[in-house]
């Protein structure tokens, strides 16, 4: 085992720290102990089920057909347990270490690549529009109400057949503004959104909501992320949800 660890460390080009290697070793020990426990449990199960089969064969009060059904059921259990047992027996301590080590290295490489992509990501107006539209279409429509749409937005919806959310987002990004009211009180103005407010929301996401911001950078944002973005744009804080 020690020779294997030294060889893997020597061949590694990832520069794992001693703490990381210790983590890998601890995970290996834990997995190996769990495997040994599973092996013993399966061996005991196979032994017990075989004993049950032997007892069933000797019972006179059960007809042969019922015996056959019961015995077949326990044989199936034994076959499954034997396959399961073989899988665990084939996993040596060294093979477990290799698997965990490779997964650890691959995950570290992935995280490094992810950080690099995030660092080099160019955030565009299209990204802002996509978030805005997602929030309007489903992420935030449980709390906001929009009334008195600008003529330009109405025209684009009616005459150009543009989806309402896209028409509103385009209007704001191109220099307009939209007022948002409380869906439970249509006279309560929650806030007015223009392009500056959208940019302020982006700054707040970076500062106070790093997980949401990373989801956006990774192009993995969902309706909840979009909702946070719009609430920050409208109210400067996450109030609903």
Over residues 50-92, the pLDDT tens digits come to 999 999 988 888 888 898 999 999 999 999 999 988 888 888 8
Q: Are 193 and 178 in contact (CB under 8 A)?
A: yes
Strands 178-182 and 144-145: antiparallel
Spans of the chain below 50 pLDDT? 9-11, 13
Give the separation between CA 39 and CA 87, rounded to whole angstroms.
9
The predicted structure's pLDDT at residue 61: 84
pTM, whole model, 2 decimals? 0.64
Q: Are 117 and 217 in contact (CB under 8 A)?
A: yes
pLDDT tens-digit map of 138-166: 889 999 999 889 999 999 999 999 999 99
Question: Which DSSP letter does residue 192 get?
Answer: E
The predicted structure's pLDDT at residue 28: 94
The predicted structure's pLDDT at residue 13: 46
CA angle 222, 164, 185 (to 5 degrees): 80
CA angle 239, 218, 176 (to 5 degrees): 55
Q: Are 127 and 219 in contact (CB under 8 A)?
A: no
The predicted structure's pLDDT at residue 11: 46
Count the neighbouring beta carbons within 10 Å of the beta carbon of residue 206. Answer: 15
């Amino acid at each position: 085992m020690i020779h294997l660890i030294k060889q893997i460390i020597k061949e590694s080009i990832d520069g794992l720290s001693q703490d990381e290697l210790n983590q890998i070793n601890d995970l290996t020990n834990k997995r190996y102990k769990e495997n040994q426990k599973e092996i013993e449990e399966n061996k005991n199960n196979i032994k017990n089920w075989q004993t049950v089969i032997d007892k069933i064969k000797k019972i006179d009060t059960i007809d042969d057909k019922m015996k056959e059904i019961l015995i077949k059921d326990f044989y199936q259990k034994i076959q499954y347990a034997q396959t399961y047992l073989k899988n665990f027996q084939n996993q040596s301590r060294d093979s477990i270490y290799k698997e965990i080590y490779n997964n650890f290295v691959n995950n570290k490489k992935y995280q490094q690549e992810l950080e690099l992509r995030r660092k080099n990501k160019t955030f565009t107006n299209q990204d802002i529009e996509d978030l805005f539209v997602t929030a309007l279409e489903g992420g935030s429509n449980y709390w906001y109400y929009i009334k008195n749409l600008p003529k330009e937005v109405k025209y684009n919806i009616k005459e150009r057949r543009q989806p309402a959310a896209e028409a509103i987002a385009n209007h704001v990004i191109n220099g307009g503004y939209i007022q948002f009211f409380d869906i439970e009180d249509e006279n309560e103005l929650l806030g007015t959104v223009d392009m500056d407010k959208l940019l302020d929301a982006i700054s707040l996401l970076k500062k106070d909501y790093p997980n949401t911001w990373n989801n956006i950078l990774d192009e993995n944002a969902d309706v909840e992320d979009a909702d946070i973005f719009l609430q920050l744009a409208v109210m400067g804080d996450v109030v609903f949800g």
